[in-house]
Amino acid sequence: MISLLLVALAAICNAVMDTISFHYKISIFTKFNPQWWNPAISWKNKYVDYSKFAEYTGKVSKLEKRIFILNLFSIKYPTFLTDAWHFFKSLMIVLLGFAIVLYVPVVNIYVDIILVGFAWNLTFNVFYNKIFKKH
């Protein structure tokens, strides 16, 4: 039974990820810091010195291009701490891992597969289509 709860929590994490990716502008998350919640800009949080090149509109020298490319692979923080999308992706994976490790049959494996699918889909749809949208 604990596995079903963990799967439902993982589905909520997935609903957060999809909401901010596809419906950020009409989501409840717009009232929070966009630098962390809005994937259109929050992905930049991962990279060292991105802002130096982000708004650059002139010609970039070969040396500057090399520096920028090297900086793309210079991570400031663990990725899961840099923005909401990566945080909830990591949390979803951890929750699913615990659901697998702590799995104890509720009925039998065949019925449990249906129960897990139902728990995921119901939870995801309620949060994605109702709770995370502005009213």
78 occurs within a structural domain: no
Q: Is residue 68 part of a domain?
A: no
Residue, of 10 and 74, whose pLDDT is higher: 10
35 domain-assigned:
yes
Q: Is residue 71 part of a domain?
A: no
The string of pLDDT tens digits covering residues 60-116 is 544 455 555 555 555 556 778 889 999 999 999 999 999 999 999 999 999 999 999
Look up the domain containing 39 and give its range.
Answer: 2-43+84-131
Query: What mean pLDDT do residues 22-38 have?
Result: 95
pLDDT exceeds 80 at position 41: yes
pLDDT at residue 122, rounded to an integer: 98
Does residue 72 lie in a domain region?
no
Per the structure, the count of domains in the chain is 1
pLDDT at 59 over 60: no
H helix intervals, the chain: 2-22, 34-37, 39-42, 50-54, 62-72, 84-101, 109-126
